[in-house]
Amino acid sequence: MQKIISWNVASLRARMPALKRLLAEERPDIVCLQEVKATDETFPAFELRLAGYHAALAGQKSYNGVAILSRAPLADIVAPLPTFAEDAEARFIQAALPGGEIVMSAYIPNGNPPERDPADTARLAYKLKWMDALTRHAEGLLRAGKKVILCGDFNVIARDADVYNPKAFEGNALMLPPVREAFARLAALPLTNALRALHPDERLYSFWDFQMGAWPRDLGILLDYIFVARGMEPAECRVLKDVRGWDKTSDHAPVLLVLK
DNA sequence: ATGGTCGACTCTCGA
């Protein structure tokens, strides 16, 4: 049995007290982090080691950054996406577990234009290119028979029921048709969406904006998932919603997966 | 009690 958590922490250093509490309460084997916003120099590797975890980091100053924490040593670390080697942003890392499983932590681009230039489509194009690269990379590993565990903030509202008010997000890069189509191509690989396999019709959110009192008003969005290679059996998968109510927490709640 | 996001960074940007 393995327990895996995926969490967009919105700055690891700001989240260390909350992360240490989560590690102590859940004692996961693996933690995939997104929006770490740290470099090798500012990453709290020693503190995490004291908490019992090895770490692999694809770091970047101020923005993005992904990491994998593991109780067992990690091997064969890969970053960035081999199918997008020229990527300038730290959004992907993978590592092999002692049992041969390939764990991935992915932070899919948001894709919305900068506020000052709403007509700029460069970020949307980058998002679509990135999603396609992730799909091709995962496909290659699955074809080779690898036991893939893909964790991340996908930045996709996959269906209207995954957001408190779909009308308010019309035209938003989180749910534009080409983005949903790219997500559907990824989901069509021989993968199981663990959260949706176990909770097909439940209203689930994993993100509540820091703004507008989104959390107390339950104005949420489902953006975070854990996919596993077909044949791997999720015993349990859920959003750790309580964590969103913690002091000094992230705007995302963690997703937890237990494999049989 | 007169507020109203957060974090990193230099004050503005991204989410």
Q: Is residue A114's beta carbon less than 7 angstroms from any atom in nucleic acid strand B?
A: yes
The string of pLDDT tens digits covering residues A150-193 is: 999 999 999 999 999 999 999 999 999 999 999 999 999 999 99
Instruction: Name the residue closest to the C1' of B6 by its CA.
Output: A210
CA–CA separation, A91 and A107 (whole Å): 5
Mean pLDDT estimate for chain A: 97
Q: Is residue A123's beta carbon less than 7 angstroms from any atom in nucleic acid strand B?
A: yes
Beta bridge partners of A259: A2, A234
User: What is the model's pTM?
Assistant: 0.97
Say yes or no to pLDDT of A45 above 90: yes
- Segment A100-121 shows an average pLDDT of 95
Task: Name the closest nucleotide to A39, judged by C1' and CA.
Answer: B8
CA–CA separation, A154 and A85 (whole Å): 19
Say yes or no to pLDDT of A231 above 90: yes
pLDDT of residue A120: 93
CB count in 10 Å sphere of residue A11: 14
**What is the DSSP pairing of strand A234-239 with strand A224-229?**
unpaired
- Segment A85-104 shows an average pLDDT of 97
Say yes or no to pLDDT of A3 above 90: yes
pLDDT of residue A115: 86
pLDDT band at A62 (very low <50, low <70, confident <90, very high): very high
At A169, give phi and psi (nearest 5°). Answer: -110, 10
- Residues 32-61, chain A, CB closer than 7 Å to nucleic strand B: 37, 61
- Segment A78-84 shows an average pLDDT of 98
Instruction: Give chain A's domains with CATH numbers.
Output: 2-259 (3.60.10.10)
Q: Is residue A10's beta carbon less than 7 angstroms from any atom in nucleic acid strand B?
A: yes
Q: Is residue A91's beta carbon less than 7 angstroms from any atom in nucleic acid strand B?
A: no
Beta bridge partners of A103: A95, A149
pLDDT of residue A1: 86
The residue count for chain A: 260
Q: Is residue A210's beta carbon less than 7 angstroms from any atom in nucleic acid strand B?
A: yes
Q: Is residue A211's beta carbon less than 7 angstroms from any atom in nucleic acid strand B?
A: yes
Are the C-beta atoms of residues A187 and A230 closer than 8 Å to each other?
Answer: no
Nucleotides of B under 7 A from a protein CB: 4-9, 13-15
Are the C-beta atoms of residues A204 and A222 closer than 8 Å to each other?
Answer: yes
- Segment A93-98 shows an average pLDDT of 98
pLDDT band at A116 (very low <50, low <70, confident <90, very high): confident
Q: Record the tokens describing residue A45, joined without a space.
A: 């590797």
Residue A62 CA from chain centroid, whole number: 18
Q: Is residue A13's beta carbon less than 7 angstroms from any atom in nucleic acid strand B?
A: yes
Say yes or no to pLDDT of A31 above 90: yes
Say yes or no to pLDDT of A86 above 90: yes
Sign of CA dihedral A190, A191, A196, A197: positive
pLDDT band at A57 (very low <50, low <70, confident <90, very high): very high
